[in-house]
Structure 1
Amino acid sequence: MHNLDQESSFIRRSISILALVVAGEAVFFLPFVLPRVFRPTLLDVFGLTNLELGIAFSVYGVVAMLAYFPGGPLADRYPARKLMAFALLATSMGGLVMTSIPSLAALNGLYGFWGVTTILLFWAPLIRATRAWGGAKLPGRAFGILDGGRGLVAAAIGSGAVALFAFFMPDEVQSASPEQRESAFRNVILLFSGITFAAAVFVWFALPQQSSTPREMPNRFEPKGLNRVIRMPTVWLQAIVVVCAYVGYKGLDDVSLYAHEVLEFDEVQSARVGTLSMWMRPFAAIAAGLLADRFGVARLTTLSLLMLALGSTMMAAGTFRPGMTAFFFVTLIATSSAVFALRGLYYAMMEEGRVPFGDTGSAVGIVSVVGYTPDIFMGPLMGILLDRWPGPLGHQYVFAVLAVFALVGLLASILFWRLVQRSIQEPIRPATSP
């Protein structure tokens, strides 16, 4: 009987983390995966310029920045199951609006709406539910599986969407009429909307009806929790680590262009370089999570930031020249692994940072507001550097920015690590409200 209970518990936990993985990526299919995979088609069908699409992304970014903070306490108060399922349902309904090929103004409004559904209602509940799944003993494994699994889901669904699009297009793609292209693209939008809706149903039935609170995390939501979290130095150090790691993530957008302009790879080879970098995500995130539970999240975070700093510095120094392929790929794999390892680690830092479980959402709000600011400044900064100094020099400046942020993050992670070590003898207690 005891074995049956253990087996049943294992199955429930497996289904729960699978739901979190699928939902964690599905909610971003329509606003981000769709334009990333089908950008030329989207621009053509909607009659947009790159700048106009960029403005839509900016609308999303501004709404998201405003939504991160209030979304945290919301997640601490209401069950993740309800918030996440409703967010996925609402996001999928936005996809139906998108099939009408709306005007630019309506598209901007749609991206603002998605900023609310994916961030205000979804992001903090996802992180809180993942932390509950891992508990105090396996935070690294939980967040490593979450981000690594999301990478696999994105790759699989993206490949399937491309196959569907090709199926509805004529054999000679270049000969497709505007009507055929629009019809095929509508089917892709419907596919993404359907998957997002299915993820809502999956979450509703897979996650517990009430917010899951492990026995070793007895804290519940309290109105004073936000003030308590603001007073915790580990939360602010974690926010610095996230912003520095996210700069590294955004900087990886440059690797394919770097391979083309610096190493003289052709366009196909350069695309493969970018793909290789992205495929490091599931392996690095999951491996980092497993290792973190064995050796410590703070220690693995520090090591990953050190690796990111070294790799970025080598590229910023102009180390690579045409023909240095093997050395470049070793550096690319190491640097990309460090970036994606950090994505699997930086929310697991909450456990070692002694954030009360009931205050998880509030902490996520603070960390996210600071940590995802590169969504606002990194794109324009990279564009300025690459356009003003075309060729190798511009790329060196881009990676110099990554190296500087990595060093700042490294310093923050070391300070975080010292606080964690000190807490082994004297536990860190959040300051209470007056």
Structure 2
Amino acid sequence: MTTIHSPLRRAFVIFTIVLAGELIFSLPFHVVRFFRPTFLEVFNLTNTQLGDIFGLYGILAMLVYFPGGPLADRFSARKLMMISLLLTASGSLYFAQIPSASSLGFLFAFWGVTTIFLFWAAMIKLTRIWGGAHAQGKAFAILDGGRGLVAAAAATGAVAILTLFVPDGIDTDLASKRQGIQSVIYYYGAITTFAAFIVFLVIPKESGVQSTDDDGEQSSIKHDFSIVLKRPVVWLQGMIVLTAYCGYKGLDYFGLYLTNVLDFGAVQSAQTVAYISYTRVFAALCAGFLADKIGIGKTVLITFSALVVCYALFATSPVQALPQFLVLANIIVTFVLVFAVRAIYFALLEESKIADTRTGAAVGVISVVGYTPDIFLAPVAGRLIDANPGVVGFSHLFIMLGLFSAIGAISTYLLIRRVKALRAA
């Protein structure tokens, strides 16, 4: 990557990575995450159908994580990221036409390619190089915390747009809800396009390009993958990302939880989730600070362990009989913990001593394993909720998420032991 010495220019670069890194996912994820009840009604979908649509996104994404990694080691991140943003934004034009469930599946499959293939590994590598050898926790905390701030700010604007058509507490007709969702979609398409132009203006032309190994010799894709695939720490990191990402995907259901279990209105539910999402900045920065102080692995282990407790409380407590503020407090803590572990799990690349020149290859392998929840979590969660409407269905969902967090804690413990062994060797 082109060396950037100016603090101001460095600040602009990380800001742009953050902005692009969140808005690339706004169309396929934000519209559903923040407006799920209204979205399901307008598109005439069940949770099961929507879960299957997200499964198509996940299948295509998984297929392109692997080949996308080496591209980030050989081509300019600026070019890769800009193309991805523009292609993703173009999908908003079709999305706003409120296509059928089958057509929506093709759109999400398209987004599975455009949001990942050229973009994901380039963003991770750019962030790692920006952070240098001694501030990986800080770099990835800024990335994820900043992405959280972008997500919450963009959602706040989207909620304001929806409110123009769907005032909360008023029995609004379906046509108005349709107009509201369409306006929200166009809004997200516009800001995604805006992010593409910011990337073109700010990111250095040769950003992220490194085609030699640590000894200065030319590195081949086959050679990079052969080395990465043989390292147990890479597979353990893949499992850590998988279990943490299950928790992150689980956050998409809290808006529906507020509506179906706590009787929140559609707009009130969206506003609550949007406001809680602002905690992502606080969570990420605290996680990054703690990771640089006590170690990334230890911080991830503590976070997973706390998540197990939170999900157990959701699954076993009589939530409808409890004061609402206690339930909301547990929701907030869950969001904070999920955001914290998500903020720093890729910082484990530095702790595991993965070479800079093989970052793209490692990210490709880790992501193929780690983001498989894009395939299975939404279909499974949708069926759990639809099969047992109300508290029971959500209890089953929280039990599943708690089990994944427990597996994440075990994987992290094994990784810590492996890293210690490598250092002692």
TM-score interval, smaller chain: 0.7 to 0.9
Deviation at 1:212, TM superposition (A): 3.8
Q: Tell me the distance in 1 between the aligned counterparts of 2:411 and 2:111.
A: 32
User: 1:250: which partner in 2?
Assistant: 249
Unpaired runs of 5+ residues, structure 2, are none
C-alpha offsets along residues 31-88 of structure 1, whole Å, 9 cap, x if unaligned? 2223444456655666666655444333222211111111111212212111001111
Give the aligned residue type for 2:26. Answer: F
Deviations 1:166-205 (A, max 9, x none): 4578999867794x76666554433322211111111112
Tell whether the 8 Å contact from 2:51 to 2:378 is kept in structure 1 after alignment: no
Distance across 1 between alignment mates of 2:395 and 2:171 = 37
Paired with 1:182 and 1:393, the residues of 2 have a C-alpha distance of 30
Matching residue within 195, 201, 208 for 1:205: 201
Match of 2:355 in 1: 356
1:143 aligned onto 2:140: yes
Displacement of 1:376 in angstroms is 2.4
Q: Match for 1:189 among 185, 210, 214?
A: 185
Shift of 1:283: 1.3
**1:93 and 2:93 matched:** no
2:110 pairs with 1:129: no
Task: Determine whether 1:34 maps to 2:31.
Answer: yes
User: What secondary structure does 2:21 align onto?
Assistant: helix
Secondary structure, in 3 states, of the residue corresponding to 2:346? coil
Amino acid at match of 2:17: L
Tell me if the contact between 1:234 and 1:416 (Cα under 8 Å) persists in the aligned partners.
yes
* Residue of structure 2 equivalent to 1:344: 343
Give secondary structure in 1 for the equivalent of 2:6. helix
User: Comparing 106-115 with 31-40, which one deviates more in the overlay?
Assistant: 31-40
Alpha-carbon deviations, 1:190-224, whole Å to 9, x = none?
3322211111111112112113479xx95775321
Cα shift at 1:104: 5.2
Q: Which one of 45, 56, 72 corresponds to residue 59 of structure 1?
A: 56
Match of 1:154 among 151, 156, 179: 151
Rounded to whole Å, the distance in 1 between the matches of 2:129 and 2:28 is: 27
Question: What secondary structure, in the 3-state scheme, does the structure 1 residue paired with 2:187 have?
Answer: helix
**Correspondence for 1:430:** none
**Equivalent position of 1:429 in the other structure:** none
The answer to whether structure 1 residue 315 and structure 2 residue 314 are counterparts is: yes
- Percent sequence identity over matched residues? 43
Q: 1:188 to 1:398 in 2, by over 3 A?
A: closer
Once the 2 structures are TM-superposed, how far is the Cα of residue 340 of structure 1 from its aligned partner? 1.1
Q: 1:97 to 1:385 in 2, by over 3 A?
A: closer
**Contact map agreement 2:74 2:209 (CA 8 A) in 1:** no
229-238 or 312-321: bigger deviation = 312-321
1:299 maps to 2:295: no
Over the aligned positions, Cα root-mean-square deviation in angstroms equals: 3.4
Match of 1:227 in 2: 226
Q: What is the aligned residue count?
A: 416
Is the Cα contact below 8 Å between 1:318 and 1:392 reproduced in 2?
A: no
Aligned to 2:20: 23
User: Is residue 2:369 matched to residue 1:373?
Assistant: no
1:100 deviation in Å? 5.0
**Within 2, Cα distance between the matches of 1:259 and 1:195?**
28
Of 250-259 and 108-117, more deviation after overlay is shown by 250-259
SS at match of 2:417: helix
Structure 1 residue 388 displacement after superposition: 4.7
- Give 1:222's aligned amino acid: S
Aligned equivalents of 1:164 and 1:394: distance in 2? 31
CA contact (8 A) 1:170 1:176 kept: no
Could you tell me whether the CA contact under 8 Å between 1:222 and 1:358 is conserved in 2? no
Looking at structure 1, the residues matched to 255 and 95 of structure 2 have their Cα atoms a distance apart, in angstroms, of 30
* Paired residue type of 1:194: A
How far is the alpha carbon of 1:125 from its aligned partner? Answer: 0.9
Q: Secondary structure at the match of 2:286?
A: helix
TM-score by structure 2 length? 0.85
Aligned to 1:3: none
Distance 1:317 1:94, change over 3 A: closer
Counterpart position of 2:68: 71
Larger Rg: 1
Matches within 5 A, 1:282-297: 282-297=281-296
**More divergent stretch after superposition (128-137 vs 88-97):** 88-97
Q: For residues 169 and 396 of structure 2, what CA distance do their matches in structure 1 show?
A: 42
Q: Deviations over 1:128-153 (max 9, x none)?
A: 11111112111111111111111111
Which has the bigger relative contact order, CA under 8 A and spacing at least 6?
2
Question: Contact 2:47 / 2:385 at 8 angstroms: preserved in 1?
Answer: no
